[in-house]
Amino acid sequence: MYRKNILFVVKVYIFGLIFIILHTGIWIMPNIGAEYTISQYIYNPTVLMNNFKDPMSQYVLAQFLEPLLFSIFHLHKQVYFILFLFFENLLFYLLFSIWFLKNHAIRENDIYKYFLAICFPVFSLPFYWMGMNGMVLLLLLLSMLYYNSLLFCLFSFLLGFQSSSIGINAFLILGISLVIYKIFNNRFNYGNISYFKDLDILKSFIGVFSVFVGKIVLLFIFHKLDIHRTGTAFTWIEVYWKAFIKQWLLNWNTILYSIYGIVWIAILNRIKMIWYILPPTFMAFLLTIIANDETRIALLVLFPSLFYFILKNKDFFNSFSSNEALIYVFVFFISPFLYIWGGIPYAISLLSSDINIIHIIHHTKGYNWNYPWILTPH
């Protein structure tokens, strides 16, 4: 029986990966070379900072954990760094698949629930925008899997080494949303969450504090290594905030749609049951006003709330018949993944680019990271 269960998990996991990759394809983030550079000169601050003289580029230095872990392997080819990122994504999907199948007691006759779950756009993000997102999502997932354990503090602490702004906002949104749920549920007793505990509110704010402590420790390490930054992610906001607002106003509706995609219909059809997902969604949506990669930011900061209120919610998934769920899965698969970046909507699959990459590698026996397709998801 144990072996049979393992084979079932492996099959679902593999088919889930194929399903996602066939839908979105794989695209590597443009700043992948910057992260790789950090991993190569992480113990040589002088050379490292010579590669990041421009303050506008120094925000990448705050994504420290991923390059640090890669540096342990002493590998010096960029392709190995790409494979390392790919492994992160595989691990993220594996851990989520194991948890989801176990938490919802999924059997072969209700496997549609799993495929419905991965129709949420956040599960398309790791491969569609392969880079720092893998580690951020992995840490967010581990934090939520161990939400009732001291390990929650450890994983949220590590988020301070990878993306403190995402971590702080993610757990802050979750905490505020839990407070809103408690207030309205006590007053109206509407849309109960069976697993909610008052302590969950405190834990989310402990997560905010843990991420903040992680960031402070990272800044201390930078000080000891003589890594003195003159630019951060906020430098982009200071310089381009007017442009960010303009592009948000032009495409706010597509940004909002990109958060859930086709699953918006399922959510709105069950809004009385899961009304509590709206406050975190609205807060994540508002944060995109000051972001250049709007969909990415929204999906990441929303993930803990999505996990707590929806992915963990058995009542939500039990409310679907197999036929209804499969309709959503089918429409999701044949519809393009909508992604907003720099205020521009991209609604495409990247498989054509991936085929082109394979063709280039086959004929050139190498990989040129400066090909034009690497700069835009076309």
Lowest mean pLDDT among 113-122, 142-151, 268-277, 345-354: 345-354
Look at residue 359 in the predicted model and tell me its pLDDT.
61
Look at residue 180 in the predicted model and tell me its pLDDT.
95
Lowest mean pLDDT among 44-53, 83-92, 314-323: 44-53
Mean pLDDT confidence for 316-342: 92
Look at residue 341 in the predicted model and tell me its pLDDT.
83
Mean pLDDT confidence for 235-260: 86
Confidence of residue 213 (pLDDT cuts 50, 70, 90): very high
Mean pLDDT confidence for 76-104: 93
Q: Per the structure block, which two tokens stand in for 303? A: 């993930």
Mean pLDDT confidence for 280-303: 94
Confidence of residue 356 (pLDDT cuts 50, 70, 90): low
How far is Cα 119 from Cα 325, in angstroms, rounded to an integer? 10
How far is Cα 254 from Cα 248, in angstroms, rounded to an integer? 9
Minimal CA–CA distance to 296: which of 125, 64, 65, 62?
125
Which pairs with CB-CB distance under 8 Å and at least 24 residues apart come from 324-330? 325/112, 325/113, 325/115, 325/116, 326/112, 326/115, 328/116, 328/119, 328/262, 328/263, 328/265, 328/266, 329/112, 329/115, 329/116, 329/119
Tens digit of pLDDT for each residue in 173-196? 999 999 999 998 877 767 789 899
Confidence of residue 358 (pLDDT cuts 50, 70, 90): low
The helix (H) or strand (E) run that includes residue 71 is helix 65-71
Look at residue 353 in the predicted model and tell me its pLDDT.
61
84 by DSSP, 3-state: which?
helix
Look at residue 351 in the predicted model and tell me its pLDDT.
63
CB 123 within 8 A of CB 20: yes
| Total of domains in the chain | 1
Burial 224-253 (b: 16+ CB within 10 A, else e): eeebeeebbbebbeeebeeebeebbeebbe
Mean pLDDT confidence for 312-332: 95
- Taking all residues of the chain, what is their mean pLDDT, rounded to a whole number? 87
Lowest mean pLDDT among 236-250, 257-271, 303-317, 364-378: 364-378
Confidence of residue 375 (pLDDT cuts 50, 70, 90): very low
Q: Per the structure block, which two tokens stand in for 302? A: 């929303």
CB 71 within 8 A of CB 36: no
Does residue 121 surpass a pLDDT of 70? yes
Confidence of residue 371 (pLDDT cuts 50, 70, 90): very low
Mean pLDDT confidence for 263-271: 95
Q: Per the structure block, which two tokens stand in for 258? A: 């990109």
Mean pLDDT confidence for 73-83: 88
pTM of structure: 0.91
Does residue 199 surpass a pLDDT of 90? yes
Structural domain span for residue 47: 2-374
